Amino acid sequence: MSTFVALLASGLAEGAIAAIAAVGFLITYKATGVVNFAQGALISLGAYIAFWLTQKKGAFGIGALGLVPGYVVAIVVMFLIGMVLERLAYAPLRGRSVHVVVIATLGASIVVQAFIGIWQGTSPLFLGSPVQGDIVHVFGAAVTWQRVLILIVTAIVITLTILLFQFTQFGRQLRATAADRDTARLYGVPVNMMSMLAFGIASALAALAGILIAPLGNLTVDLGFNTMLLGFAAAVLGGFGSLGGVVVGGIAIGLVEQLLGGYMVQWFGTGGLGDYKSMYPFVLMLIVIALRPQGLFTRGAGQRL
């Protein structure tokens, strides 16, 4: 029982990680129609900024911020970086096909990763967390608070995002901008501000994802890229573009990797199929693309890609 609960908790947390990584690029996708391949690099960058702010010397020698204030500042900084990124990398490409932006995001991703390597080095670092080392016992299974925190924050963030998109003036304007930029402008929607905000929010969410995920292990440059691959799998399972779907998709891949993978090791031992558990999410993803390219949980063609 405790094994099951522990593995279940691991699976759910991994699903939440995939989901929170995916929410960021889904927002850019919904607002601009672009799949942002730089989102992974932004996740790493957010975590590195948080690390930088909370170190002894701190940013620009101002001294260490507390963990939570450091996190908040990092998220705000990433929000601003996102807005700037929109001005620098997306706005000049506006009116061009989404493909140009997609390849530009690939370029941006390479640049950001290389920048982190030069700026903070490449040896593994560690980003602290206020709940570092705390554990909670559920049915005899020890679950770290960090994983519980990820689950909670992911739930809140996705709920808020859905509410934001569906029920606020801002959400309506954002959707209008995405659907038809020119018409939206005619109706008085501040379209430039909208896409800046979309990029800002996506980057802030990337920072949030990085800050939550990094304390689980080491902080390395490719943290974000690996997380983003999982996020892609979750988003594909959920039907690209559906925020509710990405949660279910994320949980599906988390359970497949941790729960199924964990039992595979128990049943077949090392050297068996359990050794391959980190590829389970991608196998699942390929199966879903083959059988239900519109995603598991959406009807209609969810692929305005």
Partner 1 sequence: MRSRRLVLALLVTTVATTAGLVATVGTSAAAKNVKIKVLLLAETKGESVNAVQYYDNGAKLAAQELGASKVEYTRIPAPLTPAQAQTALLQAIDQKPDVIIGLPASSQVIPLSQTIGQSNIPFFALSTAIQTIKSGPNGAPNLYLIRPLSTDVAAAEAKYVTKDLKAKKIGLVCVQNAFGTDSCNVARPAITAGGGTIAVERSNAITATDLTDIALAMKNVDAVLDFNFPNPLGVLANQLVQNGVNVPHVDGASAGIEVNAKVVQGDALKVFSGVDDCVPVADKSAAGKKFNKAYQAAYSEPPIYSAAEAYDMVKFAYAAAQKAGSTDPAKLEAQVQKMSYTGACGKYKLDSGNILLHTSYITKWSPAGAEKAIKKLTFPVTGAPGSTATTAPTATTAATTPATTTK
Partner 2 sequence: MTDTVVSPAGTAPAAEPGSGSSAPPRFRPPATRGSPYLTLALVLGAMALFRQFGPFGVSNAGNADLYNTWLFYGVIVVGFYFVFGVSGQFAFSQAAMAAVGGYTSAWATRVELLGTDSFLAGLAVGVVVTAIIATAFSFLMRRASEFYFAIGTLGLSSIVLEILAQWNDFTNSSGDSTTGISGIRIFGLQVSGTVIKHSKLSPKGFPVPVEPDAVQYRVFWIWLAAFAIVMLMAIYLARSPVQREAIAGRDQAAVAATVGVPVFRLRVTMFVLGSAIAGAAGSLFVHWKTFASPDSFGIDLGIGIFVMLILGGIDSRWGPILGAFFYVFIPQWLQGGVLGIPGPKFSVTLQGQVHNAGDFKNIIFGALLVVVMIAYPEGLVGAGRGVRSLVAGVVRPRRSTWFTRWLNIGPGRVPAPQPAGAGADAAPPALPAMSSAAETPASTPAPRAGAEPVLEAGDISVSFGGVHAVDGVSLTLLEGEILGLVGPNGSGKTTFLNAVNGVVAAHGSLRVGGRRIALGKPGRLRREQVMRAFQSPQTYEDLSCIEDVLLSTPDRSLTGITPAWFLRPWVLRHERARWANAVAALERVGLAELAEESTARLSYGQRRLLELARAMAAHPRILLLDEPSAGLNAAETDNLGVHLRALRAQGVSILLVDHKLDFITALCDRVAVLELGSLVAVGPAATVFSDQRVIDAYLGLEEGEGAHVLADEIVSGDGTAGAGAVTGPEPEPVDGGEA
Binding residues for partner 1, rule: CB under 8 A, are: 2-3, 6-7, 9-10, 13-14, 113, 117-118, 121-126, 128, 132-133, 135, 142, 144, 216-222, 226, 258, 261-262, 265-266, 269-272, 275, 278
CB of 297 to partner 1, least distance (A): 25
> From the list 128, 275, 296, 298, which residue makes contact with partner 2 (rule: CB under 8 A)?
275
Which partner, partner 1, partner 2, none, binds residue 233 by CB below 5 to 8 Å per kind?
partner 2
The distance in angstroms from the start CA to the end CA of the chain is 43
In angstroms and rounded to an integer, the radius of gyration of the C-alpha atoms of the chain is 19
Nearer to partner 1 by Cβ, of 142 and 186: the residue is: 142
Tokens of 134: 């705390």
> From the list 84, 164, 260, 289, which residue makes contact with partner 2 (rule: CB under 8 A)?
289
Asked if residues 44 and 225 have their Cβ atoms less than 8 Å apart, the reply is yes
CB of 44 to partner 2, least distance (A): 14
**Interface stretch with partner 2, choices 62-70, 135-143, 181-189, 283-291 (CB under 8 A):** 283-291
Site string for partner 2, 78-117 (x = CB under 8 A): -----------x--xx-xxx-xx-xxx-xxxxxxxxxx-x
Farthest CA pair distance, the chain? 64
Any contact of residue 297 with partner 2 (CB under 8 A)? no
Q: What share of the chain is helix, strand, coil (3-state, %, to 5)?
A: 75, 5, 25
Q: Please give the Cα distance from 230 to 242 (Å, whole number).
A: 16
Site string for partner 2, 178-217 (x = CB under 8 A): ----------------------------------------
Q: Please give the Cα distance from 179 to 32 (Å, whole number).
A: 9
Which partner, partner 2, partner 1, none, binds residue 106 by CB below 5 to 8 Å per kind?
partner 2
Which partner, partner 1, partner 2, none, binds residue 242 by CB below 5 to 8 Å per kind?
none
Which residues make Cβ contacts (< 8 Å) with residue 182, sequence separation at least 6?
none
- The enclosing H or E element of 144 equals strand 141-144
Q: Residue with structure tokens 């002894």? A: 56
| Phi, psi angles (nearest 5°) of residue 95 | 85, -10
